[in-house]
Amino acid sequence: MHEISLIRTVFNTLEAEFDAEELSRLQAVDLKVGLLSNVEPTLLQNAFAAVTQSEGKYETATLNIETVPVEVYCPVCDKNSPVKNYKFACSCGRPSSDVVSGTELLIHRIHFAEPAAVRST
Amino acid sequence: MQKIQRSSKAARGTVTCDNTTMHLLKANDFVAESIRKRMAEQNILLLNITSSAGSGKTTLLQETIKRIGDQANIKILVGDLETERDADRLRAVGGDALQIVTGGICHLEAQMVWQAMEGLNLDGVDLLIIENVGNLVCPASFDLGEDYRVTLIATTEGDDKPKKYPRMFLTSELMLVSKVDLLEYLPFSVDNVVADARDINPDIDVLELSTIKGTGVDAWCDWLLQKVAEKKEAAAVVAS
Ligand SMILES: Nc1nc2c(ncn2[C@@H]2O[C@H](COP(=O)(O)OP(=O)(O)O)[C@@H](O)[C@H]2O)c(=O)[nH]1
Ligand SMILES: [Mg+2]
Ligand SMILES: [Zn+2]
C-alpha cells in the first residue's frame, strides 16, 4: 500500500498550513480513516514511526487513528444505516450504494502544546 | 478564505480541520477533475480498467484492438510496476499504447495519467483506455478522471473477491467475469460473485467473458462502442 506517501502528505499538508514555530509544538495528529479507505491503521502507525525517525522531525508527536464505519443513505427512509456483512443496504432492506461515510482519509484534528511564553506565566 | 478554523494567533491547543481541505487524496482528486474536464472538451471516453494481476486485462485489450480498432480511434495507457511488456503486446496487434512505469508504486495516480497524456496525440481520439496496475486494493481509491471503471475478476481467482475488495466493486460500473472457459474445472460460482458484487453495488453491470474462446467479446465491444456514442451525443447536446 501507500502508507509512507500518505504520511508524507500529512506532513506536507501541515507544513503548508502552519509555520515552523507552531509545528515545533506539534503534539498529535488525529486522522479519520474510513473502513473503505483500504488503509491499514497498523501500517499507517509503522509508516509514521519510520518517516518521523528517518526525517528526524516530529519525533515526539503521536498519531491517533479513528476508524470510521461504513454507512449508506436511503432516500426513501431519509436516514443512514450501517453496512453489515458487506450488504450495502438500508435497514429497510432497500439496496443503496450511496456511501455517506467510510471512505474518509483525512486529518481531523491537530494538537499543539502551549507556546513557551504562555506556558511560563 | 481561511482553510482551517483557526485564529490569526499562533496555533495552540486543538485545531479542528475542515474535512475537504485536509483530505489526504485531495491532490489526486484535483488532477482527476482536470482530466475529466479535458476529456469532456475533447469528447473522449475515458475508461479505467482494474483487476488483480493476471485476470486478463491486456489479453482483452489486444482482442478489442483487433475487433474494433478500425471502428473507433483508440489509445491505451498501461500502468505497470517495472516493465514495458504490456504496451509491447498491444503494439504487436496494432494498438497505440503508451506504458506508464510506476517504479514500484502499486497503483496509478491522476498525476501520472496527466503527465502521460502530454506524450499522446489525442486529436480525433474516441476512446482512451487506462489499464491500471494489477491490484484490487490501492487503485480503488484513486480517481483517474474516468467516465467508467471496469473491473475484471477471473474464474481462477476464486469467487470471494467482491467481499474482500468492496471499494473496487462499489466504484465500478461494469464487472467482467473473465476466463469463463475454465469454469468447468474450478470451484467458482458466477451467481455467487454477481450476488456479492450487487450486495455492494446494486447497479453494477456484469458481463461473462472468455477472451480466448471469444465468449462475450462482442458484447464487450458493443458496450464500448455504445458508451463512445453516448459520450459524443452528450457533447453534441451541450454544444447545441
Ligand atoms: N483460460 C483463459 N486464459 C486467459 C484468458 N484471458 C487471458 N488469459 C491468460 O491469463 C494470463 C494473464 O493475462 P493478461 O492479459 O496478461 O492479464 P493482465 O495482467 O490482467 O493484463 C495470460 O496467460 C493469458 O493468456 C481467457 O479468457 N481464458
Ligand atoms: Mg496487463
Ligand atoms: Zn430505507
Q: Is B91 among the domain residues?
A: yes
> Ligand 1 in contact with B28 (CB < 6 A)?
no
Instruction: Please report the pLDDT score of residue B20 as a whole number.
Output: 65
Min distance A28 CA to chain B CA atoms (Å):
9
Tell me the mean pLDDT in the region A50-74: 95
Domain annotation covers residue B240: no
Residue B130 lies in a domain: yes
Q: Do B199 and A95 touch (CB under 8 A)?
A: yes
Across the interface, do A86 and B166 touch by the CB < 8 Å criterion?
A: yes
Assess contact for B113 and B46: CB atoms under 8 A: no
Distance from CA of A57 to the nearest CA of B (A): 18
CB count, 10 Å around CB of B67? 15
- pLDDT of B145 reads 98
Q: Quick check: B137 and B102 in contact, CB under 8 A?
A: no
Question: CATH code at B223?
Answer: 3.40.50.300
Cell of B190: 458466477
Q: Is the CB of B210 under 6 A from ligand 1?
A: yes
Q: Is B93 on the interface with A (CB under 8 A)?
A: no
User: Between vectors from CA B81 to CA B125 and to CA A35, what angle results, nearest 5°?
Assistant: 95
The answer to whether residue B6 scores a pLDDT higher than 70 is no
pLDDT of residue A118: 55
Q: Find the domain containing B112 and state its range.
A: 26-235
- Residues of chain A in contact with residue B105, where contact means CB-CB under 8 angstroms, are 2
The residue whose CA has the least distance to atom 14 of ligand 1 is: B56
Would you say residue B78 lies in a domain? yes
Which residues on A lie below 8 Å from B138 (Cβ)? 1-2, 38
The pTM assigned to this predicted structure is: 0.91
Residue B58 in any domain: the answer is: yes
Q: Is residue A9 predicted with pLDDT exceeding 60? A: yes
Average pLDDT, chain B: 93
User: What domains are defined for chain A?
Assistant: 3-68+101-113 (3.30.2320.50)
Residue B87: half-sphere exposure toward Cβ, Cα within 13 Å: 19
Whether B19 is covered by a domain: the verdict is no
Instruction: Give tens-digit pLDDT for B168-227.
Output: 999 999 999 999 999 999 999 999 999 999 999 999 999 999 999 999 999 999 999 999
pLDDT attached to residue B4:
54
Is there a domain that residue B83 lies in? yes
Residue B210 is assigned to a structural domain of this protein: yes
Q: Each residue of B153-165: pLDDT tens digit?
A: 999 999 999 999 9
Written as one string, the DSSP assignment of B122-183 is: -TT--EEEEE--S-SSGGGG---S-SEEEEEEEGGG-TTHHHHSHHHHHT-SEEEEE-GGGG
Domain count, chain B: 1
Summary mean pLDDT of chain A: 92
| Nearest by Cα to B165 from B157, B148, A47 | B157
Q: In what order do the strands lie in the sheet with A26-34?
A: A62-68, A26-34, A105-112, B13-16
pLDDT tens, B53-98? 999 999 999 999 999 999 999 999 999 888 889 999 999 999 999 9
pLDDT of res. B166: 95
Q: Please list, in sequence order, all residues whose beta carbon lies within 8 angstroms of the beta carbon of residue B201, skipping any fewer than 6 positions away.
A: A88, A97, B169, B170, B171, B172
Residue nearest to atom 7 of ligand 1 (CA): B56
Return the axis-axis angle of helices B57-68 and B217-239, rounded to nearest 10°: 70
Task: Extract the C-alpha cell encoding A69.
Answer: 464505519
> Can you give the pLDDT at residue B228?
97
Beta strand segments in B68-139, E: 74-80, 97-101, 127-131
